[in-house]
Amino acid sequence: MLDWTTCTAVECDPEKLSGAWAFRGTRVPVSALFENLESGATLDQFLAWFPGVTRSQAESVLEHAARSLQAA
């Protein structure tokens, strides 16, 4: 499991989404990005479907995940 505590694009609030990691300032779980990409969506499609998420946030999450996988 990835350590999201060092990624500033996300937050974990026990009062939102049962404490799941979400894009900061939204109710969009980080998992939604990966689920949509895995299903064949493009980043542009994801951003259109979830307008509260910025391109910068999504790219930051993807970069964080890539760095975490390289370190493993």
- The domain in which residue 62 lies consists of 4-71
Q: What is the pTM of this model?
A: 0.92
**pLDDT surpassing 70 at residue 68:** yes
Give me the amino acid identity at 10: V
Average pLDDT over residues 38-67: 97
CATH number of the domain that residue 22 is part of: 1.10.10.10
Look at residue 14 and give its three-state secondary structure. coil
Question: Which pLDDT value is given to residue 2?
Answer: 86
Give the chain's domain count: 1
Question: Which pLDDT value is given to residue 1?
Answer: 73
Average pLDDT over residues 45-62: 98
